[in-house]
């Protein structure tokens, strides 16, 4: 399979195999009017298999979303056909409007204009808690 290299854009690499579509959806990449390639189950020397997303445009990618979906991923910013920046992801300490609180008694259930804010409370178990009701959300 051949995917042309990009001159200026973003490559999200080393995504755990099977997580690429979730990342594609959460980042809203389907709504972009630029070429986007989602490669699933590509061969990887480190992981065996991985997913890769290539965006042929210089856009800002929400690094918190990438870190939330796959803290082992890397984000490469490409300029003039070369890697200008390489960012290693980690679990973000705070998530805003990425996941929703499932507690029906949470104020975010009735006050729709409030941001859905979650704080990382247990990095080992990837546990986030709602800022308002402390409801638990596991990754």
pLDDT of residue 139: 58
> In DSSP terms, which residues pair with 123 in a beta bridge?
none
pLDDT of residue 1: 62
pLDDT of residue 44: 82
Spell out the domains of the chain, with CATH numbers in brackets. 9-88 (3.30.70.140), 94-138 (2.30.30.20)
How many C-alpha atoms does 37 have within 13 Å on its Cβ side? 15
From edge to edge, which strands make up the β-sheet containing 127-130?
94-96, 117-122, 127-130, 136-138
pLDDT of residue 62: 94
pLDDT of residue 117: 96
DSSP string for 42-102: EEETTTEEEEEEEESS-----HHHHHHH-TT-EEEEEETTEEEEEEE----SEEESSS---
Q: What is the DSSP letter of 100?
A: -
Alpha-carbon span 127 to 39, nearest angstrom: 29
Among candidate residues 129, 101, 127, 102, the one with its CA nearest the CA of residue 114: 101
pLDDT of residue 106: 93
> In DSSP terms, which residues pair with 38 in a beta bridge?
53
Residues of the chain scoring pLDDT < 70: 1-2, 138-139
As given in the structure block, the two tokens for residue 91 are 């679990």
64: CB partners within 8 A, 6+ apart? 92, 94, 95, 96, 98
């Amino acid at each position: 399979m051949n995917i042309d290299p990009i001159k200026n854009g973003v490559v999200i690499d080393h995504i755990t195999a099977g997580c690429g579509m979730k990342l594609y959806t959460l980042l809203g990449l389907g709504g972009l009017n630029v070429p986007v390639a989602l490669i699933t189950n590509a061969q990887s020397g480190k992981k065996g298999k991985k997913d890769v997303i290539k965006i042929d445009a210089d856009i800002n990618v929400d690094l918190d979303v990438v870190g939330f979906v796959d803290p082992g991923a890397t984000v490469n910013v490409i300029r003039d056909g070369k890697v200008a920046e390489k960012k290693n992801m980690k679990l973000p300490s705070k998530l805003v409007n990425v996941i929703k609180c499932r507690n029906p008694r949470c104020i975010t259930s009735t006050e729709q204009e409030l941001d859905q804010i979650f704080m990382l409370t247990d990095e080992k178990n990837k546990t986030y808690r709602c800022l308002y009701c402390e409801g638990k959300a596991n990754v």
